[in-house]
Amino acid sequence: MRTFTLGNSADEVIALFPNRTIKEVQLGDQKVCVTRDGKSFFAFERLCPHRLANLREGQLNEFQEVICPLHHYRFELNSGRVKAGDCRDLKVYKAELQESGLKISI
């Protein structure tokens, strides 16, 4: 497992990630999606396990689920569990906001 840090402070990270907006970031040799809901941050694989739609184009709902833009499958961001649809669970990564930035472990 590798840990990456985004930003240099908690305030900088919050400014980099507007609330409930999904961004794609490069961490080492892997691209992942990152979003936040309030002060909770989530990192997850960028392609939907069903038909490989880019989840950066998806939406975050009020239940902290990401909704795939292609077939509207829903995935719980805390666990990656598929909540609506028929495919494997989404890979999620630990994302922790600290005073020194956002730590993501993949």
Q: Which domains does the chain have, with CATH numbers?
A: 3-101 (2.102.10.10)
CB atoms within 10 A of CB 6: 20
pLDDT at residue 105, rounded to an integer: 98
Which residue carries 């689920």 as its tokens? 65
- Give pLDDT tens digits along the chain (106 positions): 999 999 999 999 999 999 999 999 999 999 999 999 999 999 999 999 999 999 999 999 999 999 999 999 999 999 999 999 999 999 999 999 999 999 999 9
pLDDT at residue 82, rounded to an integer: 98
Please give the model's pTM, rounded to 2 decimal places.
Answer: 0.95
pLDDT at residue 40, rounded to an integer: 97
Cβ partners under 8 Å of residue 68, min gap 6: 48, 50, 53, 55, 58, 74, 75, 85
- Give CA–CA dist 28/67, Å, rounded: 26
